[in-house]
């Protein structure tokens, strides 16, 4: 039995080789247009891929029931945009923690946390850029300017990493990176508001 958003379908699990084939077929349904799968329950247990294409390894004969839940892509975009200001707060806090560790002489801990922070920043920029491009027709001037400023700062930090000037790196994190995170918090809130207005039309 295959259930999509609470509705039983006439699809038969046995006609597919594996879970990935089922999910691919479901996403081609007209009812799934402009929707995003949020949850997949296999045999009443949540399924989440640990590695890419893990669903391909789940043979259909091991599946007794399958429930798929989805939301409109616009709702997902709004939810993500609504969380972005929390990410900027986390980035600012992370930057201050890295700076503190460098000043305490705990370079290995600081470098490990810094790598995680840089990954978060890159993902943040990619996500917020994608939301603007997909739903708001691209970047506005303020967004472009702030993106360049943050990218330039990250490049400067990378250069300082190579020279191992930990004091200067701590200063940049505390006095330049943290204020930029505040700017991005405001931009994130503005993006969320723009999306709400766009989707309300």
Per-residue pLDDT of the chain in tens (201 residues, 90 and over written 9): 899 999 999 899 999 999 999 999 999 988 888 899 999 999 999 999 888 889 999 999 999 999 999 999 999 999 999 999 899 999 999 999 999 999 999 999 999 999 999 999 999 999 999 999 988 887 788 889 999 999 999 999 999 999 999 999 999 999 999 999 999 999 999 999 999 998 886
Residue 178, pLDDT score: 93
pLDDT given at position 31 = 83
Q: pTM to 2 decimals?
A: 0.77
pLDDT attached to residue 21: 94
DSSP the chain: -EEETTEE-S--GGGSSBHHHHHHHHHTSGGGTTEEEEEEEETTEE---SSTTGGGGSBGGG-S-EEEEEEEHHHHHHHHHHHHHHHHHHHHHHHHHHHHHHHTT-HHHHHHHHHHHHHHHHHHHHHHHHHHHHHSSS--HHHHHHHHHHHHHHHHHHHHHHHT-HHHHHHHIIIIIHHHHHHHHHHHHHHHHHHHHHHH-
Residue 201, pLDDT score? 67
State the pLDDT at residue 95: 95
């Amino acid at each position: 039995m295959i259930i999509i958003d609470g509705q039983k379908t006439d699809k038969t699990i046995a006609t597919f080789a594996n879970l990935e084939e089922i999910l691919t077929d479901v996403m081609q349904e007209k009812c799934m247009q402009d929707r995003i799968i949020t949850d997949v329950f296999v045999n009443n247990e949540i399924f989440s891929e640990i590695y890419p294409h893990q669903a391909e390894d789940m043979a259909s004969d091991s599946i007794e029931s399958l429930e798929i839940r989805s939301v409109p892509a616009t709702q997902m975009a709004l939810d993500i945009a609504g969380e972005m200001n929390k990410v900027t707060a986390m980035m600012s806090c992370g930057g201050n923690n890295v700076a503190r560790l460098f000043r305490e002489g705990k370079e290995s801990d600081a470098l490990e946390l810094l790598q995680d922070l840089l990954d978060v920043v890159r993902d943040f920029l990619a996500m917020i850029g994608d939301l603007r491009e997909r739903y708001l027709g691209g970047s506005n001037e303020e967004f472009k300017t702030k993106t360049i400023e943050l990218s330039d700062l990250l490049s400067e930090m990378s250069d300082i990493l190579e020279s191992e000037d930990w004091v200067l790196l701590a200063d940049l994190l505390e006095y330049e990176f943290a204020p930029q995170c505040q700017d991005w918090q405001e931009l994130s809130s503005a993006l969320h508001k723009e999306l709400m207005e766009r989707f309300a039309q």
